[in-house]
Chains A and B, each alone.
Chain A
Amino acid sequence: MAIRERMSGNEAMAVAMKQINPDVVAAFPITPSTEVPQYFSNFVADGVVDTEFVAVESEHSAMSACVGAQAAGGRAMTATSANGLALMWEILYIAACSRLPIVMACVNRTLSGPLNIHNDHSDSMGARDSGWVQLYSENNQEAYDNMLMANRIGEHPDVMLPVMVCQDGFITSHAIENIELVEDDKVKAFVGEYNPKDYLLNKANPISVGPLDLQAHCFEHKRQQAEAMKNAKKVILEVSEEFAKMTGRKYGLFEEYKTEDAEVAVVILNSTAGTAKYVIDQYRAEGKKIGLIKPRVFRPFPVDELTAALSKFKAVAVMDKADSFNDAGGPLFTEVTSAMFAKGVFGPKVINYIYGLGGRDVRSTDIEVVFNELLKIAETGTVESVYNYLGVRE
């Protein structure tokens, strides 16, 4: 029987890590992810995991220690947010290109500056091209489930890439909600042993990890890395299907909410999708045909599936909780629209809203503004403004 519990998103991630029982966890506290390694250090102190816990002096060292641990053939995990992730930046790329399937709990927080501890997605969005698989989570349940699947995805021989599981700082990391946990033995069987093909000090196959790689081979290695990210899509779906058989909880590349007959839709990551679902239910009661697409997998970017799903709408608003400061649109918007262009999907009118920066509260009435605009666009066929800001004083 699955275990009914109630806990915060941070505790849920820490419990997932306990059940996975990795070889090494190296972390440095940073709000709002601090609780993840803190809960975990208690599991270590109580002897309920076999993990080496290293309270390193910075995130740069946390990720470096994870690289070393994973290169040595172990399973390494960490947790961070915002500036912690930024301090890991150099090593994020090295972990990915060294094909070390480290798993990170990324509790999304505004990247300085200005200095701010609250939620937006500027941290993980900044790391979007570092070569990590990125999974996003609407609530504590999804954060937990994504953590349980992360090792299986990253460690697949066709992938061998690090995985970042994201959830919204404070909004879901600190909110206590109901959750259904998987039994320890089932998690153990599902996650399995990590037996990498190559690791340090294997006498039969001595290797160097991360050596100098110049013009002769570097490009080929980058190409392999790109192929691995491409492969990750299939693996994510396979692992998710297996997870669904175990738990009954189905995950795809993205979730579609009430899109079947929808004329307009919003595309939203993480917790705000929950607010949008509430608004959709309200509007649907009034007969308005609106829906939601909630990407779960941002890396790899599900170009074919997402553009096919979006093609049926008259108008779409892509919501970004991060700005690109490019006078063109937020990161999710530019990726979605460039994918649509490349796939010849020209039907829907697509607009962008930057919302919730620095933890600005996003209310259902804010989402109503977006749907009202989309319904107007669907009716008139006219877009007044493509690149918009929601809920900001100006």
Chain B
Amino acid sequence: MATVFKRPHALIDVPLHYCPGCTHGIVHRLIAEVIDELGIEGKTVGISPVGCTYNNYDYFNCDMVQAAHGRAPAVGTGVKRVNPDNIVFTYQGDGDLAAIGTAEIVHAATRGENITTIFVNNAIYGMTSGQMAPTTLMNQVTTTSPYGRKPEIHGFPIKVCEMLSTLDGAVFVERVSTHDIKNIMSAKKAIKKAFQVQMANKGFAIVEVLSACPTNWGLNPLEALKWIQDNMVPFYPLGNFKGKDLEV
């Protein structure tokens, strides 16, 4: 009988600790499938962030380094510079990448580091239980913006892809989403290309993945997916910002 579906080898067969309806599991799987398809498992090194997915070294079947909060792109830079044949990816949330680690991601991109960043944006600090993030939408209720995010108090959300695509060192920048099958398939294509860009030594690649946090949004898993579609996608437009036609 033909095998039509199996767990990617790059994803270890253990239960994930994420909340019901969290889309980290989907993003993990997409990365693992890409690692399998590109045949790079033996030379891939991942950099784990601080946040809900701090322990993704328990899930990816490759060597990983735990970075301090926000420092994954700097740690990844070090790994890659020592061994340029390795494929290095960072996996970061919005607290890690767009708040405490803003300097690291901007400067890794500016230097054109030949690494791949998967940026999971769920518009909230998940790990610490739902505080306002830099990517929190206007009027979004969080535990530190109980009446919704207001510009006069909380400022405005950061659009990471738009910001990083202005940097010459960032050669591939794309925003994708996990709210339905079609978008998940597009997300996989983008993630694959972001790894291929690195394999072709083209420079810094980042894929921003709009992701659900039902627990901290106070929604059930289905409502959370719809919330991405109805609220996040209009503010964080999907698509390629840079490197669409890059040959890899």
Contacts and interface: CB of A to CB of B under 8 A. Distances in A.
A137 B98 CA distance: 35
A238 interface: no
The winner among A37, A55, A57, A113 for most chain B CB atoms within 10 A is A55
B84 to A, nearest CB: 27
B129 interface: yes
Contacts of A59: 100
B143 interface: yes
Contact of B99 (A28, A45, A115): A28
Contacts of B129: 34
A38 B69 contact: no
Given A28-B99, A31-B127, A55-B132, 6 more contacts: A28-B100, A30-B128, A45-B147, A55-B144, A59-B100, A115-B50
Nearest to B153: A53
Interface of B: 50, 54, 66, 68-70, 98-100, 102, 125, 127-129, 131-132, 134, 143-147, 153-154
Contacts of A28: 99-100
Contact of A37 (B66, B144, B154): B144
Contacts of B68: 83, 112
Nearest to A114: B66
A391 to B, nearest CB: 25
A24 to B, nearest CB: 13
Contacts of A42: 143, 146
Given A45-B146, A115-B54, A55 B131 contact: yes
A59 B66 CA distance: 20
A58 B153 contact: no
Contact of A55 (B50, B127, B154): B154
B156 to A, nearest CB: 12
A390 B163 CA distance: 51
B144 A41 contact: yes
B6 to A, nearest CB: 32
Kindly state the interface size class of chain A when it binds its partner.
20 to 34
23 contacts: A29-B128, A29-B131, A31-B128, A34-B131, A37-B144, A38-B131, A38-B143, A41-B144, A41-B145, A42-B143, A45-B145, A45-B147, A46-B146, A53-B144, A55-B131, A55-B154, A57-B98, A57-B100, A57-B102, A59-B100, A83-B68, A83-B69, A115-B50
Interface residues of B, dominant DSSP? loop
Contacts of B134: 57
A334 B147 CA distance: 50
A37 B154 CA distance: 14
A351 to B, nearest CB: 35
B132 to A, nearest CB: 5
Interface in A37-89: 37-38, 41-42, 45-46, 53, 55, 57-59, 83, 87
Contacts of B98: 57
A95 B132 CA distance: 27
Name the residue among B66, B69, B128, B144 with the largest chain A CB count within 10 angstroms. B144
A173 B106 CA distance: 36
Contacts of A57: 98-100, 102, 134
A28 B143 CA distance: 13
Nearest to B101: A58
Nearest to A38: B143
* Most A CB within 10 A of own CB, among B66, B100, B102, B132: B100
Contacts of B145: 41, 45, 55
Contacts of B131: 29, 34, 38, 55
A30 B68 CA distance: 13
Nearest to A59: B100
Contacts of A113: 66
Contacts of A58: 70, 99-100
Nearest to B125: A29
A42 B145 CA distance: 8
A55 B132 CA distance: 8
Contacts of A83: 50, 68-69
B153 to A, nearest CB: 7
Which of B66, B131, B132 is the most central at the interface, judged by chain A CB atoms within 10 Å of its CB? B131
A34 B128 contact: yes
Interface string A106-149: 00000011010000000000000000000000000000000000
A46 B144 CA distance: 11
A281 to B, nearest CB: 37
A247 to B, nearest CB: 31
A87 to B, nearest CB: 8
A41 B143 contact: yes
* Smallest CB-CB A-B distances: 4 pairs: A41-B144, A29-B128, A58-B100, A57-B99
A65 B125 CA distance: 21
Nearest to B127: A31
Nearest to B69: A83
Contact of B66 (A38, A41, A53, A115): A115
Contacts of A45: 145-147
Contacts of B128: 29-31, 34
A30 to B, nearest CB: 7
A174 to B, nearest CB: 12
